[in-house]
Chains A and B, each alone.
Chain A
Amino acid sequence: MTEPLLDIKQLRTYFVSAKGTRVVKAVDGVSFTLNEGETMGVVGESGSGKTVTSLSILRLLPPAARIVGGEIWFAGENLLTKSEREMQRVRGSQITMILQDPLMSLNPLFTIGNQIGEPLRIHRGMRGHSLTERVKELLRGVRISSPEVRMREYPHQMSGGMRQRIVGAIGISCEPRLLIADEPTTSLDVTIQAQYLNLLKDIQLRSGLAMIFITHNIGIVARMCDKVAVMYAGKLVERAPVRTIFNQPAHPYTEALLNAMPKLTDKTERLWSIEGQPPDLSNLPTGCPFSPRCPKAEDRCHREVPPEYQVGDQHFTRCWLWERR
């Protein structure tokens, strides 16, 4: 097998308070790999560290956050040893990101054409006619009609679905090798969401880029992803190919997440709910962070943090239940 495009090893990103007295372990020992052309889903609840993981890859963390350990290998280079200048050449060119709310990620004062052209001007040094042509081509690529007119318009003149497609066009403008999409469709209607997901799949087939989908929606994972990483309280509790996750979930949290979803096709009388609340990261329980809510928890789960066990082909989980096997 060839070397993976992205290889994250034991990444740890902590938030440290100003006096250094309080430490919040937002990402704690996350490892995964991603090959060219693959799509990975990162699933978890709010505060589970999905977004901090992706921001760590781009090194766009808020000032209080520190990457305290681990390695991020992207295309044979460790991103954590790069200087800020070198990182700038990676962001927007090699690795790009689509955020949740397109109204927040587009600048209301500049035209669409200007904003799509920006990464091309900066990273590719394109100017004039060739730049205009490329912007038009990109707009056509994300199925926006009459690009000549649209590129002179401003974000407020577009609907939510169109804005998100424009953000997508900016994301792929420099033909990146990795696209990180952070809840890209949460603010969209269902039919628009379906259109957008299809569009992203098309773009991926055409360009062979790798994608990371950050979402709390298991449905998006089922539809889009080749493999899945499930996060809980900053830890990666399970990772596996997508069918393995759905057919044989190994971690009780993954199992509960799958069962807590109402099904479209057949009627369930009562949903299986996970009791309790997601934990407070600044005040984690000892042992496995899921143990207070886990129906299968044993004494040991409350005392010691489980290591990662391999339970199948490319299937890993952090749960004491797998120790004996």
Chain B
Amino acid sequence: MSDTLVEIRDLKKYFPVMKGVIFQKPIGWVKAVDGVSYTIGTGETLGLVGESGCGKTTTSKLLLMLEKPTSGAIIFRGHDIQTLEKNELKTYRRGVQAVFQDPFSSLNPRIRVGDIIAEPVVVNEPLPKAQMQERVQELLRLVGLNPGASNLFPHEFSGGQRQRIAIARALSLNPSLIVLDEPVSALDVSIRAQIMNLLQDLQQQFGLSYLLIAHDLAAVLHLSTNIAVMYLGKIVEFGTSDELRHKPLHPYTQALFSAALPSHPDEQREEIIIAGEVPSPLNPPAGCRFHPRCPFAKPVCSEIEPALRSATNGHQVACHLYNEPS
């Protein structure tokens, strides 16, 4: 086990639902993230899996400090980031970068690629022009692009190449953590493998940590060290990707595996197709939030909310099936 880079403790983010135009008052709360805890070690990848609306993206926004948490703590290298001074905060922001899903909207079409990649450096630690250029060319080579590309505009590149540019920009400040929000889902199949291999190479070369958000289970399993499965703002299962691949415990995780597409027409799988859709986070069901859709729900599931407990070593699950309430 490597040393911890980021620890998230009981993180919550509630969004108010307002009523009225001038005298607005909250009439309810959307509990987007509701008591999430996890750690990411140096050089590790944590994969967040779940359906839309389960709080994956909100979690990453909290980590990037784009949203303020309602409660809970984010501890980065032993310091709570909410108590950091202005200078330390700048160091933190440098250390945590992001690559987004759609490389067509995450790159400014009016800026040359060289300037896009240089921008974080210019803002944070300005270098002399010659050195700056060298740095940009080095980054372009790192992500497998021609160094001559720095004078071109984003529209001159294909989707996969643009995603490489976005990765180069994220790397420009030598971060220790990169948030990858669906980094390959907008790309063509033959390009996806290229980008996934590139991400793995960079991780090995620089000892980067990744927070990977994706809904493609096979891709997440392939890239991650640990995986957290989220459902309606809570983590329902946490374990290493090998554990999860061979022994998914939570019925929701099992359903996700069964719903994932086969890689061969003869692949036989247990069919657990869950009915219904994700309920509104505005008014989540009482007890276990998954119980209305769960094929194994017991009476206790609608009353008591199961806590996340260790099942086997390092494998945690929040489900009444795995602990008989005494």
Contact = CB atoms under 8 A, between A and B. Distances in A.
B194 to A, nearest CB: 4
Contact of A261 (B194, B218, B266): B218
A220 B259 CA distance: 11
B189 A257 contact: yes
Contacts of A189: 51-52, 215, 278
Contacts of A167: none
A260 interface: yes
A161 to B, nearest CB: 6
Interface string B121-161: 00000000000000000000000000000000000001011
A191 interface: yes
Interface stretch (A103-111, A274-282, A300-308): A274-282
Query: Which DSSP category, helix, strand, loop or mixed, fits chain B's interface?
Result: helix
A262 B218 contact: yes
Interface string B170-197: 0000000000000000001111111011
A236 B124 CA distance: 51
Contacts of B197: 270-271, 273
A312 interface: no
A265 interface: yes
B218 A264 contact: yes
B265 A191 contact: no
B307 interface: no
Contacts of B191: 277-278
B217 A264 contact: yes
B256 interface: yes
A125 B256 CA distance: 43
Interface in B246-303: 255-267, 273-275, 277-278
A217 B217 CA distance: 14
Given A271-B196, A275-B194, 19 more contacts: A162-B277, A189-B215, A190-B259, A193-B259, A194-B259, A195-B275, A217-B261, A218-B263, A220-B261, A223-B262, A262-B221, A264-B260, A264-B263, A265-B263, A267-B222, A273-B194, A273-B196, A277-B191, A278-B190
Which 3 A-B pairs have CB atoms at the shortest separation, nearest pair first? A219-B261, A194-B259, A262-B222
Given A190-B51, A190-B215, A191-B51, A263 B263 contact: yes
Given A192-B277, A264-B260, A274 B190 contact: yes
B238 to A, nearest CB: 19
Contact of B245 (A191, A218, A264): A264
Contact of B193 (A190, A220, A264, A272): A272
Contact of A45 (B189, B275, B278): B189
A261 B189 contact: yes
29 contacts: A45-B190, A189-B215, A190-B259, A190-B260, A191-B51, A191-B273, A192-B51, A193-B259, A198-B273, A218-B189, A219-B263, A222-B262, A222-B267, A223-B261, A256-B190, A260-B189, A260-B190, A260-B192, A263-B218, A264-B217, A264-B221, A264-B260, A264-B262, A267-B242, A268-B222, A271-B196, A274-B190, A274-B194, A277-B191
B264 A262 contact: no
